[in-house]
Structure 1
Amino acid sequence: MDGRDAVTHPAEVDVAVVGAGVVGLGIAWEAACSGRRVVVVDPAPGTGASFAAAGMLAAVSEYHYQEEDLLGLTLESARLWPGFARPLGTEAGNLSTPTLCVAGDAADRQALADLRAVQEAHGLGVRPLTVREARSLEPMLAPAIAGAFEITADHQVDPRRLVAAILARLGTGAVIRQRAESLVWAGDGARVVGVRLADGSELRAGETIVANGLGARELAGLPVPLPLRPVYGDILRLRVPESLRPLVTATVRGLVRGKPVYLVPRADGTLVIGATQREDGSDAVSAGGVYELLRDAQALVPAVAELELYETTARARPGTPDNAPLLGRVAARWAPGAADDGGAPPHAQDVAGLIVATGFFRHGVLLTPAAARICVDLLDGRADERWHAFRPDRFARVPHETHASYGRTA
């Protein structure tokens, strides 16, 4: 699909994707490759959480205890990544370099050993290393590190390059640089038929996919509330002088005095260090966060002190109550009087013309191919029961009728 094939605003298209971060663009790209006419709506594509993200494809090293449903989704997405990236070529910055998990001291070593035991119990491939073996793989690691293991299945991609590559292939005519204000509903209130834009015009679409991260909370006309919260993070970018290249070749994920830190080397000689995690409501870069990241990165790779710090960024990632995405179709309304027994309440028929894909928290880049595949399957009328646990309406317990007064058309 290129700009000559896309219809600009206002238009009637097969699919309108609200949000041009990595997830939204990945969905748009997959839908366009399926032969559909796609338009993406976003006032500033690729400038949200995707702009800050390090791009670790870390299904194994990001696994957290008791997140088995999410583990299945992340592993599936990791499996899909090579095929998803192949048509985009090297422009997307996809690298198959491994990940080294490193302990700063003896207590960190025990914490990593506990994590490794959980990973191995789930059949995830990890390879224990002695300190000498780790430093033979990455000579710039500090001599004082206390332990390490290698994960060959965890790789990386450059989200900024990925965004640029997809935008170039979609074409400028396929992007409407406006804010989507509300969903537009058919007159009978049973189907979403597009979105209303900031200039008051409407973009009509056979299917609308809401994939604008935290911005989804502000989209009027949703049939259920989306329980999203901002989780802020500071992330640093540094240049490695020629004399120190390569500083590291693998992604280094470490624990230093119990705090996580990661170093992601880019092919262009830069290094990404991240990331803090805070829910203080501030999108400003934290001086304390920058200090802690540099301090802990240097504890693992002392030569970090000799690099040029050229960018500090803070962005909010969209979190949910269970830290899993809101992904799928949405029920029209919840049955009245349903018992709140902790399970999913009974629901009526799904709203036609609407899919939600947000709340990816720390897994947005990794889960992009899976989100894209799931959304296109839903467009094709297929629903995989494996992913039912991520329905966007799983937290709803009461009817949410706010859509009735927004964007309804005759």
Structure 2
Amino acid sequence: MEKSGRARSAVDVLVVGAGVIGLSVAWRCRQRGLSVTVVDPAPGSGASRTAAGMLAPVTELHYGEQPLLELNLASAARYPAFAGELEDVTGRSIGYRRTGTVVAAWDAADLAALRDLAGFAGTLGHPVQALTGRELRSLVPGIAPGLPGGLLAPDDHQVDNRRLHAALLAAVTGAEARLVDAPVARIDVGGGRARGVITADGTSLPAGTVVLAAGAHSGRVAGLPDADRPRVHPVRGQTLRLRMSADTMPPLIVRGTVKGSPVYLVPRATSLESGPPTGELVIGASSEEAGFDCTPRAGAVYELLRDAQSLLPAVSEAELVEVSTGLRPGSPDNAPLIGRSRTEGLVIATGHYRNGVLLTPITGDGVAALLADGALPPELLAFSPERFAPQEVR
């Protein structure tokens, strides 16, 4: 990655942000023959790193979010081809695993609520399988005794988000996009259109189109007209990474709500490099409205471990390897903002909240189609940034 420091000739597309969303946009734009620059002082250091990598369109379903469900399902359907292509291009595994997801009920009332949700999903054409307590224990042998049952979503899969980011970064550099390691001081807007960005050291990076994909920070980038400031806000999340023996690792993703607190456990592939077989278990995620403060909170770590152990007792014997904190880009309706802004030459791709990894393929494809062909694909039209009123600077 190169430093800024001198003026450059204009490129077709300049992407602000090198998380999985920004990189997927850059990669697909390069494949469409567009020249691309990506600007980010610390690629992959935000939500892309903290995420757990769940591809969970069904088990993330909430009442009233049917359009988002359809978008999530459409992106999930692209993942096998997307993963295969990315791995072929880069020679890097992204840890795509079609393991399915179990949602464990904590008590009888929780089980009834889960079955209501399953019925709702079924009315939308996406059935899940109800599980008895015995069936739950058969699927996840180490699950806590006494849980009354749950649900199985066989098509809710996972990817290793950090491997995904590394592969996308390799794909972008391999496609000869320019990466600039610098903070963006402001979007350069003049004459009613975005003309590029100015970096913190004063370097001008001109572009035909600027794609704003800076996650939770997208609304704070200077130079944006008030009418185009994305309606995103930071939602702090903490995830834990544990090392545990392969024989105690759950065979598929386990989710649940323990006394009102949601928790998930995502097993990574085991390693046989040295010593006895071990694997990584990702536990998440707290959800806190704390502004842009990324300070880890001890109470959140305790709560995640407590609730995870309540579902999978073997967690108590695992080695705590890492606590990571990041900011999800939330939006007023929990759905992404993808498309042209009111300012000519400025495209928005942010606000993916808890579905950023899942929506990586469809966002990259959609923005590249918009810039190469002049129109956003129909499945993304409902997620225009213009559906919200302008946001004031915070």
- Output the TM-score relative to the length of structure 2: 0.89
Corresponding residue of 2:287: 277
List alignment gaps of at least 5 residues for structure 2.
Answer: 271-278
Matches within 5 A, 1:16-95: 16-89=14-87, 91-95=93-97
Matches within 5 A, 1:234-313: 234-241=238-245, 244-245=246-247, 247-268=249-270, 269-281=279-291, 282-313=293-324
2:388 maps to which of 371, 382, 395: 395
Shift of residue 11, structure 1, vs aligned partner = 4.0
Shift of residue 9, structure 1, vs aligned partner = 6.9
Kept in 1, the 8 Å contact 2:134–2:149? The answer is: no
Q: Following the alignment from structure 1 to structure 2, what is the Cα–Cα distance between the partners of residues 321 and 19? A: 21
Corresponding residue of 1:318: 329
Q: Following the alignment from structure 2 to structure 1, what is the Cα–Cα distance between the partners of residues 375 and 233? A: 30
2:65 alignment partner AA: E
The one-character-per-residue Cα deviations of 1:69-117 (angstroms, maximum 9, x if unpaired) are: 2112111111122222112225211111111111122222122122212
- Larger deviation, residues 132-141 vs 302-311: 132-141
Does residue 207 of the first structure (1) align with residue 212 of the second (2)? Answer: no
Q: Following the alignment from structure 2 to structure 1, what is the Cα–Cα distance between the partners of residues 242 and 97? A: 19
1:114 alignment partner AA: D
Corresponding residue of 1:345: none
Q: Following the alignment from structure 1 to structure 2, what is the Cα–Cα distance between the partners of residues 11 and 87? A: 31
Shift of residue 193, structure 1, vs aligned partner = 2.2
1:280 alignment partner AA: A
Corresponding residue of 1:184: 188
Matches within 5 A, 1:223-242: 223=225, 224-241=228-245
Shift of residue 202, structure 1, vs aligned partner = 1.2
List alignment gaps of at least 5 residues for structure 1.
Answer: 333-350, 403-410
Kept in 2, the 8 Å contact 1:9–1:176? The answer is: no
Q: Following the alignment from structure 2 to structure 1, what is the Cα–Cα distance between the partners of residues 243 and 75? A: 30
Does residue 220 of the first structure (1) align with residue 222 of the second (2)? Answer: yes
Shift of residue 220, structure 1, vs aligned partner = 2.1
SS of the aligned residue for 1:92 comes to: coil
Corresponding residue of 2:178: 174
- Output the TM-score relative to the length of structure 1: 0.86
1:27 alignment partner AA: V
Matches within 5 A, 1:48-197: 48-89=46-87, 91-171=93-173, 174-186=178-190, 189-197=191-199
The one-character-per-residue Cα deviations of 1:267-289 (angstroms, maximum 9, x if unpaired) are: 14100000111113342222121
1:363 maps to which of 355, 370, 377: 355
Kept in 2, the 8 Å contact 1:107–1:257? The answer is: no
Q: Following the alignment from structure 1 to structure 2, what is the Cα–Cα distance between the partners of residues 234 and 376? A: 32
The one-character-per-residue Cα deviations of 1:6-40 (angstroms, maximum 9, x if unpaired) are: xx973432211110111111111111222222221
1:162 alignment partner AA: L
Q: Following the alignment from structure 1 to structure 2, what is the Cα–Cα distance between the partners of residues 257 and 116? A: 20
Kept in 1, the 8 Å contact 2:54–2:158? The answer is: yes
Shift of residue 246, structure 1, vs aligned partner = 5.3
Percent identity over the alignment is: 48
Q: Following the alignment from structure 2 to structure 1, what is the Cα–Cα distance between the partners of residues 12 and 78? A: 24
1:80 alignment partner AA: R
The one-character-per-residue Cα deviations of 1:359-385 (angstroms, maximum 9, x if unpaired) are: 111111111111111101111212234
Kept in 2, the 8 Å contact 1:225–1:396? The answer is: no
Shift of residue 331, structure 1, vs aligned partner = 2.0
Q: Following the alignment from structure 1 to structure 2, what is the Cα–Cα distance between the partners of residues 394 and 163? A: 29
SS of the aligned residue for 2:357 comes to: helix
Q: Following the alignment from structure 2 to structure 1, what is the Cα–Cα distance between the partners of residues 131 and 261? A: 21
- CA 1:135–1:11 in 2, change beyond 3 Å: closer, same or farther? farther
